[in-house]
Structure formats: C-alpha cells, structure tokens
Amino acid sequence: MQVRVLAFGPLAESLGGRTHDVTIPPNSSIRFLVEELGIDEWLGQSISISVNDQIVNEDFPLNDGDEIALLPPVSGG
C-alpha cells in the first residue's frame, strides 16, 4: 500500500526532503514506517505523529492513501 509522509524540521533534513511517497506492506503501523525510514531514534524524543490530521501513537495502524505528518519537538525562546 502507498502512504505519503510529510516531514518537518530536522526530520525533513534526515529524510532528504519534506514529502515522500512510501510503499509499505498491508497492516503496517506507524512504528514500522518510522523504522523503515531509518529514523526510529526519533520515537523516544517526543515526536508528534498525525495521520490524516489526527494525532496518533506509534502503534496506530496505517491504511492505503494515508497522509502521515512527522513533527519533531519544537524549541525556541
């Protein structure tokens, strides 16, 4: 199945761009996708993940055509 990944901030830098169409097996979770992208170290760093504009956890199941946004923690001052 095909999903679209939108990455922001340092995650976009790690992935080499902001938008990626990714093919994953049926019944995959967010965790599987993040591991496939090679950025699973972000899972323990307060990353926010949304699927179709809904905040979800890493065990959330994905469906064909989903849009996943990977949002790193925001800092500033």
Q: In what order do the strands lie in the sheet with 2-7?
A: 19-23, 2-7, 67-71, 48-51, 54-56
Query: Does 36 fall in a domain?
Result: yes
Q: Are 28 and 15 in contact, with CB atoms under 8 Å apart?
A: no
Q: How far apart are CA 1 and CA 13, in angstroms?
A: 25
pLDDT digit string (tens) for the chain, length 77 residues:
999 999 999 999 989 999 999 999 999 999 999 999 999 888 888 889 999 999 999 999 999 999 999 998 875 54
CATH of the domain at 42: 3.10.20.30
Total domains present in the chain:
1
Q: Can you give the pTM of this predicted structure?
A: 0.90
Q: What are the CA-CA distances from residue 12 to residues 5, 19, 48, 71, 77 (Å)?
A: 10, 8, 14, 9, 22
Domain that holds residue 25: 2-71
